[in-house]
Chains A and B, each alone.
Chain A
Amino acid sequence: MAVPTVLRRVAGIFGNTLLFSLHLLFGLLLCLYLSYKVFERQFAIDALPAGIEPSSVVLLSGESGFREGCGAAVFRLSGYTRKRLLQEGGAFLESARQARGYGSSYYSYEPWQETPVPGGFTSEGGWPPLWCAGIDTRLARRIHTAMQAPGAFYSIKPEGLLLLIPDEGLIVSGYDG
């Protein structure tokens, strides 16, 4: 293939080595980012109590500072978990009090309760973790509606709240702090 003169000059000025290094750098950056996303996904799944099975990811995002962070993970409930929740309600969740992947008290959940959640969680015009996650407004509205009406279940953990919405088939985990 003939190389256009201008590109030959560009290649001459910058050199193949520089272009190669830049490509490699961008490629490595992308691979690091993708690895982080996979790690973040696994971390969010491991923070869910055993017995609550997600089937797929809807949204996983947030903002983080030096030691603080704010964000949300939204999963679809597995068919089995959703069916059990609809049949047994809160009784199904009695033993789901500790994250499946972490044994520390930071990942332990308070007893499950039926919604509505206490007003403090949504008093600032919405639940802040959802906005930190850059959630789209339709999904946010569905979650806020479920938080403020009976039919869903929530449990509070240090700096976070886990919400199960059987009617929507969603698991919503938010953290702020």
Chain B
Amino acid sequence: MSTTLSRTNAALQGLLLGLNGAYLGCVLLGAFLPSWPFNGLFTPAAAIALLLQDLQYALLTSAQVSYYLMWARIGALALLSLWLFYFFS
């Protein structure tokens, strides 16, 4: 059984890390604003997804880390863009 990730899998995992991390960040921000709602199902799901991410991070090769982090930034930017659209467009 392989204990490393494929390049595509690393990109997808990075994207999901960014989405989940930024979503949880927005939920935390929502605690200070009367807006972005805490969701009893999706907030714990995002937290569990981040914990699972920790397991897979260890499977990345050193060459994949920067690629993974680039996709994580793309995911986070996508979610933050959606957040801005949701409230301010």
- Give chain A's interface residues, CB within 8 Å of chain B: 1, 3-4, 7-8, 10-12, 15-16, 19-20, 22-24, 26-27, 29-31, 33-34, 37-38, 41, 56-61, 134-136, 138-139
Contact = CB atoms under 8 A, between A and B. Distances in A.
Contacts of B88: 56-57
A158 to B, nearest CB: 25
Query: Chain A's interface: helix, strand, loop or mixed, by majority?
Result: helix
B29 interface: no
Given A27-B16, A59-B34, A16 B2 contact: yes
Contact of B82 (A22, A38, A58, A136): A38
A12 to B, nearest CB: 6
A64 to B, nearest CB: 13
B34 A139 contact: yes
9 contacts: A11-B59, A23-B12, A23-B16, A23-B52, A26-B20, A26-B45, A27-B15, A34-B82, A60-B37
Interface string B6-25: 00010011011001100100
Nearest to A6: B58
B86 to A, nearest CB: 6
A85 to B, nearest CB: 21
Contacts of A29: 42, 45
Contacts of A12: 1, 3
A26 B49 contact: yes
A166 to B, nearest CB: 20
A56 B45 contact: no
Given A7-B58, A23-B53, A27-B19, A58 B45 contact: no
